């Protein structure tokens, strides 16, 4: 058995939410239970076994391309990730030390 590091990257276009902080706040929800079958996020969720392992080992690296704040919240119970930011933000979802069968 060995370890595998896996990563998914994307760039988001946010839509306005009802929340605010010093101006409009944008949010984007990634619901791993509702991602399209066969999509990159679906493959990421299946490969990393999010359904059974939860989001314990999931790290989120956010790179805003503006002078402001960006953060995320994990909903481990519902396997969802909400990212809050201004209009465009890059993100990565790396999981390290994933056990794989030899």
The whole-chain average pLDDT of the chain stands at 75
Does 75 have pLDDT greater than 80? yes
pLDDT at position 18: 46
Q: Which parts of 1-102 fold into alpha helices (H)? A: 40-47, 50-53
b/e per residue 20-29 (b: at least 16 CB within 10 A): eeeeebbbbe
Residue 4's CB: how many other CB atoms inside 10 A? 12
Kindly give, in sequence order, each residue whose CB lies less than 8 Å from that of residue 60, ignoring residues fewer than 6 positions away.
72, 74, 81, 83, 91, 92, 93
Q: Per-residue confidence at 80, pLDDT binned at 50, 70, 90?
A: very high
The larger pLDDT score, comparing residue 22 to residue 66, is at 66
Does 92 have pLDDT greater than 80? no
Q: Per-residue confidence at 88, pLDDT binned at 50, 70, 90?
A: low
Domain boundaries, the chain: 2-95
41: left (phi over 0), alpha (psi -120 to 50) or beta: alpha
pLDDT at position 31: 92
């Amino acid at each position: 058995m060995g370890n595998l590091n896996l990563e998914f990257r994307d760039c988001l276009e946010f839509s306005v939410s009802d929340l605010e902080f010093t101006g409009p706040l944008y949010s984007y929800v990634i619901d791993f239970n509702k991602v399209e079958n066969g999509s990159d996020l679906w493959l990421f969720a299946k490969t990393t076994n999010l359904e059974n392992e939860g989001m314990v080992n999931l790290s989120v690296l956010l790179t805003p391309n503006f002078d402001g704040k960006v953060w995320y919240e994990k909903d481990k119970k519902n396997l969802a990730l909400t990212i809050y930011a201004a209009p465009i933000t890059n993100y990565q979802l790396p999981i390290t030390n994933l056990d794989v069968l030899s």
